Chain A
Amino acid sequence: MIDLENVSMAYTDKGMPAVSHANLHVNKGEFIFVVGSSGSGKSTLIKLLLKELDSTAGKITVNGQVLEGMKHRKVAKYRRKIGVVFQDFRLLKDRNVYENVAFAQRVIGRPTRVIKKRVPEVLMEVGLGGKYKKRVTELSGGEQQRVALARALVNRPDILLADEPTGNLDPHTSQEIMKLLEQINNRGTTVLVVTHDREIVNSMKKRVVTMKDGSIVNDEKEGEYYEN
């Protein structure tokens, strides 16, 4: 599903590569944590997988598509198969819950009748069935992250990327969000979570990939997060 072969990425204005000679293979339906301290290259990895950034060396294959040399016009279609959530939720604050989720369907040209059917479905999945008319600014952090998850899932992605999804949440809400991510994974979606929340990683007993200074230094099945 996701293959990184000797991938490096250096920002032109910095000498040190953000990702250096990374090799990683993620199977379909896997749940994987990518951990590491700030500046270890975790978020750059997410950006590379989203094709927001291009690798400077190596080869990335996602869903059978090689990202290096992918034509610009094909990037939009590629991203439709990848759901993504962030620490800061990135919701449209001037719209309600329903509109935020429907937006993801609208931008890819889904007809209104499909949107009307699919959005309530996915809102039920994330536990927001009764709040679709609320403005997102009226919701708690956990609820906002659920809206972001619903938006990420509404187009039925093959892969879900989560960049510090619990970074702005209290421990209890964080656990709820992680449970939700586990449920999503159980339904067959490959889930890759970038985090530095040791408690969560260690409680879930999933595969853990540790990054340090841009390199993958550890990759353990049912691993733990040991802070350096």
Chain B
Amino acid sequence: MRISTIWYTFKQGFKNIKRNWTFSLASVITMAACIFLFGIFYSIINNVNHIAQRIEQDVPVTVFFEEGTTEEQMQQTGAEIEQRPEVARTEFISADAAWEEFKDLYFQGSEAAEGFKDDNPLANSASYRVYVNEIEKQAELVEYIETLPNVRSVEQSETAAQTLGSFNKLVSYVSIAIIVILLIVSVFLIGNTVSMGISVRKEEIAIMKMIGATDFFVRAPFLLEGMILGFIGAAIPLVGLYFGYGKAVEYVLNKFNVLTGVVDFIPVGEIYMVLVPVGLILAMGIGLLGSTVIVRKHLRV
């Protein structure tokens, strides 16, 4: 295709948008709302996932052993557990280390603990802490560990994991439903805008057809119009969200002081690595879809 033809197509695409600016504005606003919500839900889901991952890393499965199990046997079991794909890492807590931890937690330097100096009450409490990659696989892992020799009991933190998992699923479903509805509305609105452009330029299109313009030449400006509307509709909320994200994180941390240090949010740059290309492709794709449907329907050239 010649540069002059490409230039012509772009010029006509923008001209169409300008001609029906009220319809174009409605399309851009709907698309912007759609991408705005998409951005918000994407950020929420990712941050919840991120927090869940942190919890997965911080809340391990604890494996206790039968009385009389040697440290060597324990470490052998630990090695077996570590080989499982869902296991991120393991940590061996000897009976002494367990007592030290217990003392720090419950006696907090009090002399009362000194009475147990030579007689570790947790002598049989050497354990393995097992950290999982994916919290959903925790139950399966526990089932496996319980079958291993010398294992007395396995303790897990099912509630936190399951709650976060369920919350994330709920947010995902709700956001997908809202986004799908908005996307359908966007397809119709963009289609309507392009259709207005076609009716305004009916005469010009008829002349083009009469003097031998190809289908592509006639259709391209309208398809481009849909894509431009999609692009503008995505760019506005993406820029807004970029600045809004930091403010929102700051607000949440200030409002819920208890969260400071407990949870950390994904940096905006990391979110935007995916959100920008996905948002733009999604919006331009929807624009192209809306205009293609209308062009096929009304522009049989």
Chain A residues within 8 Å of B, Cβ to Cβ: 50, 52, 72-73, 76-80, 84, 90, 92, 103-104, 106-109, 111-112, 151-152, 155
In the complex, what residues of A have CB within 8 A of residue B211's CB?
A: 79-80, 84, 103-104, 107-108, 151-152, 155
Contact B8 A84 (CB under 8 A): no
B118 at the A/B interface (Cβ < 8 Å)? no
- Which B202-238 residues have C-beta < 8 A from chain A? 203-204, 206-215, 217
- A111–B1 CA distance with the chains assembled, in angstroms: 11
Contact A155 B8 (CB under 8 A): no
Question: A80's contact among B2, B204, B212, by CB below 8 Å, is which?
Answer: B212
B159 at the A/B interface (Cβ < 8 Å)? no
Chain B residues bordering chain A, tally (CB within 8 A): 18
In the complex, what residues of B have CB within 8 A of residue A151's CB?
A: 211
B30 to chain A, nearest CB (A): 30
B134 to chain A, nearest CB (A): 53
B4 at the A/B interface (Cβ < 8 Å)? yes
Contact A76 B8 (CB under 8 A): no
B5 at the A/B interface (Cβ < 8 Å)? yes
- A109–B217 CA distance with the chains assembled, in angstroms: 9
- A86–B211 CA distance with the chains assembled, in angstroms: 13
**Could you show 25 A-B contacts with beta carbons less than 8 Å apart?**
A52-B210, A76-B209, A76-B214, A77-B212, A78-B212, A79-B209, A79-B211, A80-B212, A84-B211, A90-B207, A90-B210, A92-B204, A92-B207, A103-B207, A104-B211, A106-B4, A106-B8, A107-B212, A108-B211, A108-B213, A109-B4, A109-B217, A111-B2, A112-B4, A155-B211
In the complex, what residues of A have CB within 8 A of residue B2's CB?
A: 109, 111
- A152–B211 CA distance with the chains assembled, in angstroms: 8
- A80–B1 CA distance with the chains assembled, in angstroms: 18
In the complex, how many residue pairs between chain A and chain B have their CB atoms under 8 Å apart?
53
B260 to chain A, nearest CB (A): 62
Contact B4 A111 (CB under 8 A): yes
Contact B203 A90 (CB under 8 A): yes
Q: Which residue of chain B lies nearest to A93 when distances are taken between CB atoms in the complex?
A: B203
Q: Which residue of chain A lies nearest to B213 when distances are taken between CB atoms in the complex?
A: A107
A44 to chain B, nearest CB (A): 16
Chain B residues within 8 Å of A, Cβ to Cβ: 1-2, 4-5, 8, 203-204, 206-215, 217
Contact B212 A108 (CB under 8 A): yes
Contact A90 B214, CB 8 Å, known A106-B8, A112-B4: no
B25 to chain A, nearest CB (A): 22
In the complex, what residues of B have CB within 8 A of residue A92's CB?
A: 203-204, 207
Contact B212 A76 (CB under 8 A): yes
In the complex, what residues of B have CB within 8 A of residue A79's CB?
A: 209-212
- A59–B247 CA distance with the chains assembled, in angstroms: 73
Q: Which 9 A-B pairs rank lowest in CB-CB distance, beginning with the nearest?
A: A80-B212, A107-B213, A79-B212, A76-B214, A104-B211, A76-B212, A112-B4, A107-B208, A109-B5
In the complex, what residues of A have CB within 8 A of residue B5's CB?
A: 106, 109
Question: A50's contact among B204, B207, B210, by CB below 8 Å, is which?
Answer: B210
- A217–B177 CA distance with the chains assembled, in angstroms: 68
- A227–B5 CA distance with the chains assembled, in angstroms: 48
A59 to chain B, nearest CB (A): 23
In the complex, what residues of A have CB within 8 A of residue B207's CB?
A: 90, 92, 103
In the complex, what residues of A have CB within 8 A of residue B208's CB?
A: 107
B191 to chain A, nearest CB (A): 23
Contact A155 B212, CB 8 Å, known A90-B203, A107-B217: yes
Contact B213 A76 (CB under 8 A): yes
- A155–B211 CA distance with the chains assembled, in angstroms: 9
Q: Which residue of chain A lies nearest to B204 when distances are taken between CB atoms in the complex?
A: A92
